[in-house]
Amino acid sequence: MAEKTIDHAFTATELKSAATDPTYAGVLSFMRRRYTKSLEGTDAVVWGIPFDAATSNRPGARFGPQAIRRASAIFDNDPQYPFERDLFADMAVIDYGDCLLDYGNHWQTPDTIEKEAAKILAGTGFLLTLGGDHFVTWPLLKAHVAKHGPLALVQFDAHQDTWFDDGKRIDHGSFVGRAVREGLIDPVHSIQVGIRTHAPDDCGIRIVYGHEVEELKSGELAELILDHVGDRPAYLTFDIDCLDPAYAPGTGTPVAGGPSSAKILSVLANLRKLDIRGADVVEVAPAYDHADITAIAGATVAMYMLGLHAERRALRG
């Protein structure tokens, strides 16, 4: 035990080092990555946005980043399935902590998120964000587009989030429509997967409904996504309510009839050719969870997002 350490999130001496904390102990950063506000030498950054004032049903996603970090401890210090690699052997990743928001002045929230995200993106190659409700994706998109230009949106969700608003609302159900109107995303090459509700406007985005997800094999669905997006740079957003409530009960607006975590993770694993410039996992609300089912699903999706980035880096050499 002499060569081992605990609390790797603080005791790590290099960003690519493996952790040795027991799964059940130690400081709970995301996958035991070092907690730091220094972006020097980073290839990717994990960041939390504990915000849920935009929810239309059950609140609680402000506790999502904590729950996802806690569940991610199970991935500590192993080659990660299905990538067959230690994700951090050749990729320096930190946990940047959380975004500081004023709960009494929600009108300031979008600007605060956008500015902090832009600061992070100026110092690293890839930002993975843990929400929070789905409103946070709008200011995140603004920051990413400022760096990369308009992006194709790849959205896993039970909801289209295209309800109209006046451009000022703090609403998790309208950010996609707003992003299209503002030219942040290219609707022609954007796609929404797992939709099980109807909104008045599809904004020209390709929709794969829940019953279609059920009928398609995982590889077929992944190929559909890749063909639709093509070689365009993309932003990947995953609302945990894309999954059936049996696999993700801890969320604000659960919708029956969704896919299993196994199927959607298989889809994600097949998106290695997707040019993902940024990603988020949102709407994990642990107060409604059971035995960390939803938190584990959210942490696994987030790990897959880092895995996809690692694979993309390897493909680029």
Instruction: Find out whether 161 is annotated in a ligand binding site.
Output: yes
Residues 6+ apart with CB under 8 A from 299: 30, 68, 69, 71, 72, 74, 75
- At 254 the three-state DSSP class reads coil
- Residue 202: phi and psi, rounded to 5, are -95, -5
Q: What's the chain's Rg over C-alpha atoms?
A: 18
8 Å CB contact between 221 and 191: no
Q: What are the structure tokens assigned to 222, written together?
A: 């992944």
Closest CA to 160 of 113, 204, 219: 204
Q: Within 10 A of 285 (CB to CB), how many other CB atoms are there?
A: 29
Cβ 179 vs Cβ 141: under 8 Å: yes
> Is 189 annotated as a binding-site member?
no
For residues 94 and 88, what is the distance between their CA atoms, to the nearest angstrom? 10
User: Given CA atoms 211, 212, 213, 216 in this order, what sign does their dihedral have?
Assistant: positive
Helices marked H in 46-184 — which ranges? 64-71, 109-121, 137-148, 175-181
Q: How many Cα atoms within 13 Å fall on the side-chain side of residue 213?
A: 28
Q: Is 144 annotated as a binding residue?
A: no
8 is annotated as contributing to ligand binding: no
Is 134 labeled as ligand-binding? yes
Task: Provide the annotated binding site.
Answer: 134, 157, 159, 161, 239, 241
Task: Provide the annotated binding site for Mn(2+).
Answer: 134, 157, 159, 161, 239, 241
